[in-house]
Copies of this chain bind each other. A is one copy, B any other.
């Protein structure tokens, strides 16, 4: 990584913290200092990790973060939290081009009073979505972040145990590299992934996802996060998967 940063000297390194397609988590710690050493900003996608995996923007020297509300934060989709470091704000203020209006985060920041009491108009905010996000953050604050992270770790570890008891394989062998919010499981040979997901949905009313991109046809993706990160939910999914394995086994040739 360092040799590439030194060679390419990019303006920014963009990386996902949690990767939903493979169900892996990337270690961000240390990457900020490395990027800054070569004049690059570190931008991180925490869409599927925030609220599940520990994440420390300032400590890790992250300059830009984008996330979502409908994953670990337990909210509805439709609004995307973003955060910029002081360094990123400086870059934004000193840029010598004008981005399209809709993508002009400086105007957006002015609406949010980030630079004094400007309350400049950028777009009409969505009150119900803002309220929903506020309510989700309030729930997390009540539980406290360390406890939220511990709960995710505990319940997903329990789910791992159940998956192992079913003799199923994980797409990511090393449990420390697995994303706590999304678990990718490889089905035994001859099982049809589409059929498996459909059976889970139709018979058990549980929606799990097919692989996507690099994992299409190679894994099922099981999201256990936010409000749903409980032992009960983990057990319900594992029980349903056990039944589905048996049910679809019979129909195999």
* Chain A positions near chain B (C-beta within 8 angstroms): 68, 70, 76-79, 100, 102-103, 124-129, 132
Partner of A78, one of B68, B70, B100, B129: B129
Question: How many angstroms from the CA of A125 to the CA of B77 in the assembled complex?
Answer: 7
CB distance from A107 to the nearest CB of B (A): 15
Q: Check A124 against B70 for contact (C-beta < 8 Å).
A: yes
- Which residues of chain B have C-beta atoms less than 8 A from A124's C-beta? 68, 70, 77
Q: Hey, which chain B residues are within 8 Å of A126, CB to CB?
A: 76-79, 129
Total identical chains: 2
- Determine chain A's interface SS by DSSP, over half rule: loop
| A76-B130 Cα distance, complex, nearest whole Å | 11
Of the A-B pairs whose beta carbons lie under 8 Å apart in the complex, a sample of 15, sorted by A's number, is: A68-B124, A76-B127, A76-B128, A76-B129, A77-B125, A77-B126, A77-B127, A78-B78, A78-B79, A78-B126, A102-B102, A128-B128, A128-B129, A128-B132, A129-B129
Report Cα–Cα, A127/B128, bound state, in Å. Answer: 12
Closest to A68 in B: B124
Residues of B contacting A68 in the complex (Cβ-Cβ under 8 angstroms)? 124
| In the bound complex, CA of A124 to CA of B47 (Å) | 11
Query: Can you name 18 extra interface pairs (CB under 8 A) apart from A77-B126, A78-B125, A100-B100?
Result: A76-B126, A76-B127, A76-B128, A77-B124, A78-B78, A78-B79, A78-B126, A78-B128, A78-B129, A79-B126, A100-B103, A102-B102, A102-B103, A103-B103, A128-B128, A128-B129, A128-B132, A129-B129
Q: Which of A70, A77, A103, A127 has the most CB of B within 10 A?
A: A77
A124 to B80 alpha-carbon distance, docked (Å): 10
Q: How many angstroms from the CA of A223 to the CA of B124 in the assembled complex?
A: 16
Distance in angstroms from A18 CB to nearest chain B CB is 15
Q: Which residues of B contact A70 (CB under 8 A)?
A: 124
Which residues on B sit within 8 Å (CB–CB) of A77? 124-127
Please give, as numbers and ranges, the residues of chain B lying within 8 Å of A100 by CB-CB distance: 100, 103
Q: How far is the CA of A100 from the CA of B126 in the complex (A)?
A: 23
A148 CB, nearest partner CB in chain B, Å: 22
A2 to B76, CA, bound (A): 48
| B residues near A128, Cβ cutoff 8 Å | 76, 78, 128-129, 132
**Bound Cα distance A208, B125 (Å):** 18
Q: Which residue of B lies closest to A212 (CB)?
A: B121
> Separation in Å of the A212 CB from the closest CB of chain B?
8
